[in-house]
Amino acid sequence: MRDGVRFLETIVWTAMTYNPVRILGLIGLTGIATAVLVGLALLALRLQGVTTLGPIGIYAVFAAVVCGAAGTSVFALGASFNYLVSLFHQRPIRQGLFKKPLFEAPIERFFLPLGGASILAGLTISVVSLALSFRGWSIDRLWLYLSGSAMLIMIGIQLANSWLEMSILRELSERHSPESTNA
């Protein structure tokens, strides 16, 4: 058992050393996908007329908020490792989730606009919820919207932070590449 654990640990750390974006990206996408699936299930239930959730439904909402925020954070961490690896190798490196990058432009270029949109959506939902509370809506009707609002704001802040971090790392990796020192 101990040798099996050490063998697995060696495999994971080797993969993390050579392409951390693959492992962290898959973990992050799993969290994000979980949040999206729960959100779609809640939307489908609401369209069917369901207005209350039982213990499993409430826990699913909690899990979606945690998985959405954590998944975004882990995915962004994986993407930032491209620049850390670039600094180590002293040349730009773009590793993708599935061997090659999915987009021509680095994915973190989308982080700031997506983060801004997420924050704006979260703030809009929270302000609408506040207005509805002044119109007499109880917390029983508003808690789900407020939970979604909080998740969107947290995800937006994480994406904006990651964009800033990776912008700085990109600049440093380009500054320290042999091509820039020879120019």
Cα separation, 144 vs 61, in Å, equals 8
**Considering the chain, what is the average pLDDT of its residues?**
84
pLDDT band at 97 (very low <50, low <70, confident <90, very high): low
Please give the residue range of the domain that contains residue 63: 2-182
C-alpha span between 13 and 33 (Å, rounded): 25
- pLDDT-derived band at 125, boundaries 50, 70, 90: very high
Rounded Cα distance, 3 and 13, in Å: 15
Residue 83 to residue 77: CA distance in whole angstroms: 11
Mean pLDDT of 29-43: 93
In this prediction the pTM is 0.73
- Residue 95 burial (CB count, 10 A): 19
Number of domains in the chain: 1
